[in-house]
Structure 1
Amino acid sequence: MDSYQTPLSSRYASKEMSHLFSSEMRFHTWRELWLNLAIAEKELGLPISDEAIQEMQNNLYLDEKQFGIAAAEEKKRRHDVMAHVHTFGVVAPSAAAIIHLGATSCYVTDNADLIFLREGCNILINKLVVVIDRLARFAEEYRALPTLGFTHFQPAQLTTVGKRCTLWIQELLWDLRNIARARDDIGFRGVKGTTGTQASFLTLFDGDHEKVKALDKRVTELMGFAYAYPVTSQTYSRKVDIDVLSPLASFGATAHKIATDIRLLANLKEMEEPFEKDQIGSSAMAYKRNPMRCERVCSLARHLMVVHQNTLLTSSVQWFERTLDDSANRRVTIPEAFLTADIVLSTLQNISEGLVVYPKVIARRISEELPFMATENVIMAMVKAGGDRQQAHEEIRVLSHQASAVVKQEGKANDLISRIKATAYFQPIHDQLDALLDPATFVGRAPEQVDEFIQECVTPIRESYKEQLHSAKQVELNV
């Protein structure tokens, strides 16, 4: 409690994502990389003993004592990778002489980062499909509930609550596609040496180019990657970071839009995010039910959209084969992007699993606006009853302006229908007015669009991620 901790990990993020970017996972992954380099080098003929391999395999995880050794060594050497080479050698003495053989620091640091990028995408994808599923359930439930549409946040033609939700889901589906594409495109830096020329490994294998190529391919396979980047400098290109964090930033825009819509609807009292029995909305105004979850989504989504800019700036200033001014920046940028996206997804899931809709409030707002929207239907009904279109238009225009003045100047309810019922001219259609004002007749194909969208776009995702959806649990926010 006496030193700063990022709220991303200490307050909000899941244990799964926090662990991925932990020191324990990072240094464990380095040891896996050193082990697989040694295995591949041994397979290709270098004199590495079975005992060395076994000791490395037996000590892939660090205990508290080893973390202490590494910290002391790093303080002395001012080099984190060499500190951990030394520490690994302490617990695997038979391998001490061959750990990191031929490699540069970026063999472990960069390859580990690529592993974390890929696994981070997997975590996000699994959470994203759950949010899509939960919102799809909501859309299905409210597929046909008419609601006032808004353009420019002004009353517009009716839609349905479910149809509006499909607009959110569609963008999330695009985010799913984009994150999956970025994940699938991630390669391995591989075994490339200090400036990417593989010179050190060519020396180790006495000038045998084929063995160096085989080494690169074998380590790539052992680490579970389909391919390695064909050329690198000392590092993998920092454009990879751009490509991976870009869809995360794009998801941030989606999440912000969804949460903003819900916040606006909460102000209209048409919809609310979950609100717990003992939750306090305001320290002063006890009646308040603030949309704090959606506000959190918007707050963190802005950070997610902005943090991506660091990858662009960092990539643009990597001089020649590398500079080190990327290192400190990336230690912050990459974990923060994934932790933030993780938190936004968890919060969105919590929101989507407890959304509350108030149909009577929605119906009241429709009743305030629908009479104006129904004027064209009234005119058409009069024409069908034998009336003149121009005369009907003038009659309804006068009554509409009168009703509008009542609403805007007197603050009273819209009385256009009462005025129509009280006007002799419209007597031929008085018995049709209730039918002409049925909100369900104003939503077009919205319910059918929901059905078709779910079937064509969401069902395939549900099938592809059946196991993830089956094992998903409801999200409960700690704070």
Structure 2
Amino acid sequence: MNLADAILGDPETLALIDGDAQIRAMLQVEVALATAQARLGMIPDDAARAIAAAAQGLIPDPDEMRKGTASAGIAAQPVVNALKSACPDHAGHVHFGATSQDIVDSALVLALREALTLLAARLQAVTDTLDRRADDFADQAIPARTRFQNAMPTTLGAKIAVWRAPLVRDSERLEELRPRLLVLSLHGAAGTSAAFGENGPALRKALADNLGLTAPDLPWHATRDTMVELGNWLALVTGSLGKMGADLILMGQSGIGEVMAGAGGASSTMPQKANPVAAEALVSIARLNAGAIGTLHQAMIHAQERDGSALAIEWAVLPDMLVRTGAALRLAQDLVETLRPNADLIEASFATDRGMMMAEAAGFALAREMPRKDALALVARALRAVAEGAAATLPDALDDIAPRDGGWSAFLTPDHTWGEAAAMARSGADKGNAPTT
């Protein structure tokens, strides 16, 4: 047991891809294979019925599964042996013509279909909640910061809309990926379908129909690009959520405290602290998946028709990436739902800045009346006056240097200088930075 799984793990996702789920999926493939072969006259009907009945109540011994996998180097063999033992009179028709990799890969695809349904639903929930929160805080002014420095005003809603945009694209990417990923594997020992004779194409079509998958023309035992593409997608999702987590950590840190989210974790010795545990976990998961995708790419270096060393990399890396993504989406949902601005501390941030983050707006306003170079020189002079204590705020300094009707204080306010931020927050439901036409 890894205690960190309480933070970085997700039981619901794990249950869809763990050992028990793999065994159920492999048995499902074997039953569907036997059913399709009986329909094509490749095995007797009573054999297919017996295989289905045996599989229905079969609960293989976990120790035997582990020992068999260690011996064979692949999980399908001990499952097949258990199924043969459960219907001894028809053992010769179990797994007829298939190779272990066919069963493992087809079962993997079935498990991934269930896992991705869960992840897609969570992703949509996070996206919808972000959309709602962006609208809630469309007009909540907050400092924008570039390279950890105050830049200019924006709104909290605009920041949330930026978090949401890549997640919308990730949903689109997943729909594009599904047809490439949800593909049956059934080409036999060396990928030639020799054991199926002339029935190969018809058998693949029948089995794919039984399982709700697509039948491929070529084997993919040794071409793992779609599994790596899935890993890339998982890393994209967690990377986007990691960016949100990093922003929440920075906005909630001591001395800023402008935005809080989640309950916070207690320190064992410093009772004043509320550690941003969930936001930190989003960053950790993003970095773990970013590292894992590099390792998963190694599984593409797959020698000849099948390479156990490449397959083992995929088996070790991809499940953890899936579980971590489930965890990240679960944590993100809670953070977004509980996100709340601290208006007093946001106001304090603006007050401490003394109007200097409105310098760009002042420069553009002055440039309407004089050459841009001269306008920037005036703003630079006003900023020096604030820095040296000769003026309390940038508007005060500009009132002395370049007076304007109504005064600079009325003009240099967040809502006059945040540009399209509020509008972007309200248009967040538009499609994640889709180009305008």
Query: Structure 1 residue 164: deviation in Å?
Result: 1.2
Check whether the contact 1:121–1:183 (CA below 8 A) recurs between aligned residues. no
Query: Structure 1 residue 432: deviation in Å?
Result: 3.8
1:221 corresponding residue in structure 2:
209
Query: Structure 1 residue 307: deviation in Å?
Result: 0.8
Residues 258-285 of structure 1: CA distance to partner in whole angstroms, max 9, x if unpaired? Answer: 1111111112211112226xx51x2222
1:350 corresponding residue in structure 2:
334
**1:259-270 counterparts in 2 under 5 A?**
259-267=245-253, 268-270=256-258
1:406 corresponding residue in structure 2:
389
Query: Structure 1 residue 9: deviation in Å?
Result: 5.4
Amino acid at match of 2:304: F
Residues 412-434 of structure 1: CA distance to partner in whole angstroms, max 9, x if unpaired? Answer: x944455667x5984x74x5444
Query: Structure 1 residue 382: deviation in Å?
Result: 9.4
Residues 355-404 of structure 1: CA distance to partner in whole angstroms, max 9, x if unpaired? Answer: 121112112222333633556877999999x9999999887765542221
Percent identity between matched residues is 21
Matched, 1:273 2:261: yes
**1:184-203 counterparts in 2 under 5 A?**
184-202=179-197
Amino acid at match of 1:327: L
2:347 corresponding residue in structure 1:
363
Query: Structure 1 residue 28: deviation in Å?
Result: 1.3
Residues 311-340 of structure 1: CA distance to partner in whole angstroms, max 9, x if unpaired? Answer: 211211x11111211233222111111011
Cα distance between partner residues in 1 of 2:268 and 2:274: 11
Cα distance between partner residues in 2 of 1:382 and 1:32: 72
Q: Larger Rg: 1 or 2?
A: 1
Check whether the contact 1:253–1:305 (CA below 8 A) recurs between aligned residues. yes
Amino acid at match of 2:341: V
Could you say what secondary structure the match of 1:158 adopts?
strand
1:231 corresponding residue in structure 2:
218
2:86 corresponding residue in structure 1:
91
**Is 76-85 or 191-200 further displaced after alignment?**
76-85
Could you say what secondary structure the match of 1:97 adopts?
helix
Residues 425-444 of structure 1: CA distance to partner in whole angstroms, max 9, x if unpaired? Answer: 84x74x54442233211112
Check whether the contact 2:153–2:358 (CA below 8 A) recurs between aligned residues. no
Residues 96-142 of structure 1: CA distance to partner in whole angstroms, max 9, x if unpaired? Answer: 23111111111211111222233322221111111111111111110
Amino acid at match of 2:240: T
Amino acid at match of 1:222: N
Query: Structure 1 residue 70: deviation in Å?
Result: 4.8
Query: Structure 1 residue 196: deviation in Å?
Result: 0.8
Residues 8-63 of structure 1: CA distance to partner in whole angstroms, max 9, x if unpaired? Answer: 75664333211112221111111111111111111111342336415524633543
Query: Structure 1 residue 289: deviation in Å?
Result: 1.9
Q: Aligned pair in 2 of structure 1 residues 56, 445: CA closer, same or farther (>3 Å)?
A: same
* RMSD after superposition: 3.4
1:332 corresponding residue in structure 2:
316
Residues 140-159 of structure 1: CA distance to partner in whole angstroms, max 9, x if unpaired? Answer: 11001122112222222211
Check whether the contact 1:259–1:297 (CA below 8 A) recurs between aligned residues. yes
2:420 corresponding residue in structure 1:
445
Check whether the contact 2:298–2:313 (CA below 8 A) recurs between aligned residues. no
1:36 corresponding residue in structure 2:
32
* TM-score when normalising by structure 2: 0.87
2:280 corresponding residue in structure 1:
295
Amino acid at match of 1:237: T
Cα distance between partner residues in 2 of 1:343 and 1:15: 9
Cα distance between partner residues in 2 of 1:343 and 1:253: 13
Could you say what secondary structure the match of 2:327 adopts?
helix
Residues 216-270 of structure 1: CA distance to partner in whole angstroms, max 9, x if unpaired? Answer: 1100111111x2221116x152122111111111223212211111111112211
In the alignment, which of 215, 218, 235 is matched to residue 249 of structure 1? 235
Cα distance between partner residues in 2 of 1:436 and 1:241: 55
